Amino acid sequence: MSDHRRRFLRILWGALVLYEILNAFFILLLRQLPPSPEGEAFELFSLLSLLLPVWLILSFRDLLPRVRLFSQTFFLWYFALGTFWIGGGLGGIFHFVEGMFPGAAGGRLGASYSFRAVEGGALLTLLFLSLAVAARFLPPRLIRIDLAFEGLDPRLEGTTILHLSDLHVGAWQGEGRLRTIADVVRTISPDILAVTGDVIDHREDEAQIFERIFSSLSGKIGTVAVLGNHEYWSLEKEAYPVMRRHGLPVLKNESLLLERGNGGRIRVVGVDDPAGGDYAPDCGPDLEKALAGVRPGEFVLALVHQPTLWEGALCRAAQLTLAGHTHGGQIGGHPPLPSLASLFFRHPVGLFSSTDPQCPGHRLHVSAGLGYYGIPVRIGMLPEMTLVTLCPKTEGSGEAKSQKK
């Protein structure tokens, strides 16, 4: 088992334990309130939802079928519980502060405290769910970044690279939403269209949806992609041939030379995802193989799914690396604002410059992605695609200029 898989399982077990604790406390809180049909219905649902982690564990072990409705219910209820308890805590604080004033009803535990907690939890949950629903109806955010590189071939000046990641076709996004994303890509018409994995979520038929909507899209000089962990979790060792067959031009530890009409060339390197190593010996990252075709003086664009692959040999070889995977945690903001992803990743989302003295000026861009994993919620971290424009480094020019729409 790979280190990545072990880490994922540790996080999963911790999340399941926390879920059970939050749910148990929610049931205890409901029992503090006066009896009502609504309260009894919520209590029954909460008791039944205590069984969802058991189903989730058994389905991951292929002992039970993976029912999408169950997983969606689990993640939605988990999100609702989390926001409810944050709001409940704020409501409880307000209750005690209220009790510091003469004649106020606050300051005591009991039914009045429970009502304040329920009010606070309900209000915050409603607010967060409203923001999440609004985000689903907005078009994907387009981030434009001008990147200056020392010694860039003048013939590459103005080259545009559109970075897409983590579509998760089939998970929480209908075909109408996917067609909206495709229309935006078609309008931009970049020189290079780069896709950094997790195109599908958990079934092969999602690859057919991708082919139907996105296979007609292409960059002016090329379209390139790498696989993500979800392709491997869904298709195992067949991930590469299946995704190629459905129109995704995957680079698996190999490189491709793209050429503009004026003769400017870009070497695109695609590194396979670590999840592949769990399924076949010829899958997973092989940097030596991936970089074998790189020649001195070439501008190298590297594609990876997970940003953890950037540091070291890949960072030194590639002037620009594109990654995804993190979703920016789906909640939070781009640096310097915090995000959930910053709890788990050194490079959670956005643009990063190398600190390696052997490759000054080399960059990593981590996309927050376009889809959802787990809960269908994005708060602050809206679905996005990034258009990178290559520029020569000149005296007085900044390293990067960013513009969001």
Prediction pTM value:
0.81
Under DSSP, the state recorded for 157 is T
Q: 3-state class of 317 per DSSP?
A: helix
Which CATH number among 3.30.310, 1.20.120, 3.60.21, 2.40.128 corresponds to the domain 140-404? 3.60.21
Burial zone of 256 (CB within 10 Å; 0-12 exposed, 13-18 middle, 19+ buried): middle
pLDDT at 308: 94
pLDDT means over runs of 10, the chain (405 residues): 64 79 80 78 80 76 70 75 73 61 50 60 76 80 96 96 95 86 95 97 89 94 96 93 96 97 97 94 95 95 97 94 96 91 92 93 97 84 96 70 62
1-31 burial, b if ≥16 CB within 10 A, otherwise e? eeebeeeeeeeeeeebeebeebbeebbebbe
In whole angstroms, give the CA distance from residue 195 to residue 248. 9
Strand partners, 203: none
DSSP per residue, 79-95: HHHHHHHHHHHHHHHHH
In whole angstroms, give the CA distance from residue 279 to residue 277. 5
pLDDT at 113: 53
Angle at Cα 303 formed by Cα 380 and Cα 342, nearest 5°? 35
User: How many CB atoms within 10 Å of residue 259?
Assistant: 12
Is the CB of residue 350 less than 8 Å from the CB of residue 334?
yes
Is the CB of residue 295 less than 8 Å from the CB of residue 250?
no
Is the CB of residue 368 less than 8 Å from the CB of residue 381?
yes
Under DSSP, the state recorded for 276 is G
Give the residue extent of every domain in the chain.
Answer: 3-136, 140-404
- CA separation, residue 195 to residues 166, 316, 320 (Å): 8, 22, 14
Contacts of 69 (CB under 8 A, 6+ apart): none
pLDDT at 42: 75
pLDDT at 110: 47
3-state secondary structure 93-142: HHHHHHCCCCCCCCCCCCHHHHHHHHHHHHHHHHHHHHHHHHHHHCCCEE
Q: Determine phi and psi for 35, rounding to 5 degrees.
A: -60, 140
Is the CB of residue 144 less than 8 Å from the CB of residue 402?
yes
pLDDT at 203: 83
In whole angstroms, give the CA distance from residue 315 to residue 362. 7
pLDDT at 109: 45
Amino acid symbol at 300: V
